[in-house]
Structure 1
Amino acid sequence: MTSDDDDAAAPAPGWVPDVLGPGYEQRTLPLPADDAGPAVATLVRRLPVAEDPDLGLDVLYVHGWSDYFFQTELADFWGSQGARFFALDLRRYGRSLRPGQIPGFVTDLTTYDADVAAARAAMAEDVPPDRPRRLVLMGHSTGGLTLSLWAARHPGEATALVLNSPWLELQTREVGRAVLEPMVQADARLNPAHRLPVVDRGFYTRVVSDAYGGEWHYDLTWRPEHGFRVTSGWLAAVLTGQARLARGLDVRVPALVLLSTRSALLPRWDPSMSRADVALDVEGVARRAADVGRHVTIVRIEDALHDVVLSPAPVRRTAYEAMAQWLAGTVTLGHAAVATARAPHPHGSAPARPRLPDVPERHGRR
């Protein structure tokens, strides 16, 4: 026999407590099998859901390569904006990785359409059918590329894109892509599961993980020190996606791109890596970002890391302020406040200050 309090605290059907602890639940999403066999995705949600019903805003976050969702402060930020927050561990990543599977292995980024569709179906279950919802897609690194391509293939489905250091261009830019792609594609056709040599020297883990002096605590099984080994099939899929983007996607919803002001793509450790993107060529990405769509805002943040919201506290505070201001001036203004925008107050009242979560100087969930 359970009390009313126990019933209120119990997860809804299909949802179970998440590894992040109180305030988070996860749900396993069965998926159709792909070329690599059976797979599932995992949807994580932040609780309690304290949304602004006038906004009707849902955020779906997708991680990058060798990654999974653990950025609880990011979820708190979106909660402070009145949004419902969900994060998706894609097939063969993080919570979705099963024994015997090759981590992250797919041969086409469109495969993730099924993951996103399953997530959106689960997100919609608790919403009355007469209540409209607006979707903000947020992707980091490869997740940013994946969601940009998804938005282009599904016009009208998303309200906005937020891209956190998206991998929109190869580190060697167009010339390197032109040289590398034919070789990778040939290898992928012969043996898509071929694992390529490790190129991650662990510098990014060194600046982020609290196991190596960084600030953030996460599972090194799901996000290993040197990353998972890349397969030729997966790399071919990324190169195909980048080539498609280079021809122009024409995404017609507002997009915000957050990037560091500099890269540190060095063969040996250097202290400058703790204040730069050690994974991407941010100049190349910034130039390519304009090809995402018609309404792209690029914000370059001094001393930001590859995952901007894992940067030191003063840096990520700047990032959250930029996100809140952009949200207020595009997504929120374009919907809930449109009447106010069309009929300004006669005395020129200033808009409300964007809401922001507290950003501690040190942060991590153990």
Structure 2
Amino acid sequence: MSVVGGSHSRSVDSSATTGWRTDVLGAGFEARTLPLTRDDEGEVVATLVRARSAPLSARRRGVAKNVDVLYVHGWSDYFFQTELAEFWRQRGARFYAIDLRKYGRSLRPGQTPGYIEDLATYDEDLEAALVQMGHGYGQKSSRRLVLMGHSTGGLTLSLWAARHAGRAAALVLNSPWLELQTREWGRLAFTPMNSTIKRLGRKTPYPQIDRGFYARSLHRSLGGEWDYDLRWRPELSFSVYPGWLDAVIRGHQTVAHTLGLTIPVLVLLSDTSSLRATWDESMRHSDSVLDVDGIARRAADVGECMTLVRVSGALHDIILSARPVREKAYVQMDRWLGGYLRDPVRVTHPFEWLP
């Protein structure tokens, strides 16, 4: 199921700061603007999107019938993955997604797209969303919270879960950006240089290295399968700034020192990377953004109950891969959900058999 081209290219009413409204995705989706603390670029908001209620049969018997899902997008991205929302709905979950500050629906004129200098700043965005979902700090909910993040969103949620132990029941990571493409040795070598450049100009952009290959494998107008708003997810990714990259690197360093999550974590990765300087058709069947083998090694540092699934032929965003490929990913997600999200059998003395 792809998003209908042009159906969400309308401008968003930035004055609508309260209440739910029909989302740019159209029927079945609503959005709510969440005002946040202003910064040096003016008004700052996040945007929470929710899907319509799950079918009654799924709400009664689905494996995720008592689950609320919050999805967080990656870098130079926004939420448009309606098929993913439907996957969760059909399993009984309430599905929500957030466009973080300065991304997609939340981007305001004059703002630097995606710019932030500390990933922990997103705590405010996430808390505002969780309050609306009934999972805010201090709120009591009988439903379990599952967090799902893609790429930089996966890194952000992993760090959040480590700082807020006990609030999420599980974590699903879709190609999480847990380490630089140059792996640890490259990160350690590059960090001092980036710090020096940051002191000279935190918002002085690095040269654009994106050649549009990933977009070519995704957007229908470029030969891919999907339609989405190229203003919010441009063919060439947002400019990278030293201040932003420093925040990401510090996140990588935190993961490298082991996050120690105790909740179940599912990590979905492609089986192959294709990090090339020129276009190759293999990029339609591999991750052309991250070093998946390096991420797979780093994933072990996320938590003590981590399941790693390598999906053959997958793109960087697993759920935007070709249909046969993403169907395999959904099967793997179903298998994992059945093991970790189904209501557990409660045993008063689970080790009474021990001598």
Same fold (TM over 0.5): yes
- The offset of 1:35, in angstroms, is 5.5
**Distance in 2, Cα, partners of 1:287 & 1:81:** 31
Cα distance in structure 2, aligned partners of 1:58 and 1:248? 27
The answer to whether the 8 Å contact 2:53/2:89 transfers is no
Alignment of 1:344-363 (within 5 A): none
Other structure's SS at 2:179 match: coil
Equivalent positions of 1:118-129 (< 5 A) are 118-124=128-134
Is structure 2 residue 319 aligned with structure 1 residue 309? yes
| Partner residue of 2:108 out of 98, 101, 126 | 98
State the distance in 2 between where 1:153 and 1:190 align.
31
Question: Does the 8 A contact of 1:31 with 1:39 survive in 2?
Answer: yes
Q: Does 1:164 align with 2:174?
A: yes
Deviation of 1:48 after TM superposition, in Å, equals 3.0
CA offset at residue 130 of structure 1?
Answer: 6.8
Q: CA deviation at 1:205?
A: 0.4
The match for 2:29 is 24
- Check the 8 A contact 1:34/1:111 in 2, yes or no: no
Structure 1 counterpart of 2:29, which letter?
A: Y
Residue 39 of structure 1 is matched in structure 2 by 44
| % identical aligned pairs | 58
With the length of structure 1 as denominator, give the TM-score of the two structures: 0.85
Partner-residue secondary structure (3-state), 1:114:
helix
Q: Is the 8 A contact 2:69 2:145 kept in 1?
A: yes
Q: Distance in 2 between matches of 1:86 and 1:154?
A: 19
2:148 aligned with 1:141:
no
Mapping of residues 332-347 of structure 1, within 5 Å: 332=342, 336-338=343-345
Is contact 2:43-2:108 (8 Å) kept? no
Match of 1:211 in 2: 221
Q: CA deviation at 1:36?
A: 4.7
Q: Using structure 2 for the length normalisation, give the TM-score.
A: 0.88
Give the root-mean-square deviation of aligned CA atoms: 1.9
* 1:110 shift after superposition: 0.2
Alpha-carbon displacement from aligned partner over 1:266-323 (angstroms, at most 9, x marks no partner): 1101111111000000000000000001000000000000000000011000000100
**Per-residue Cα deviation, 1:176-232 (whole angstroms, up to 9, x for no partner):** 101111111222234222211111110000010001110000000000001111111
Distance 1:48 1:153 in 2: 30
Cα distance between partner residues in 1 of 2:229 and 2:106: 14
Kept in 2, the 8 Å contact 1:275–1:305? The answer is: yes
Q: Which residue does 1:252 correspond to in 2? A: 262
Q: Which runs of 5+ in 1 are unaligned?
A: 1-12, 344-366
Taking a change above 3 Å as real, the CA distance of residues 240 and 36 of structure 1, as seen in their structure-2 partners, is farther
- SS class of match (1:338): coil
Residue 152 (structure 1) aligned with residue 158 (structure 2): no
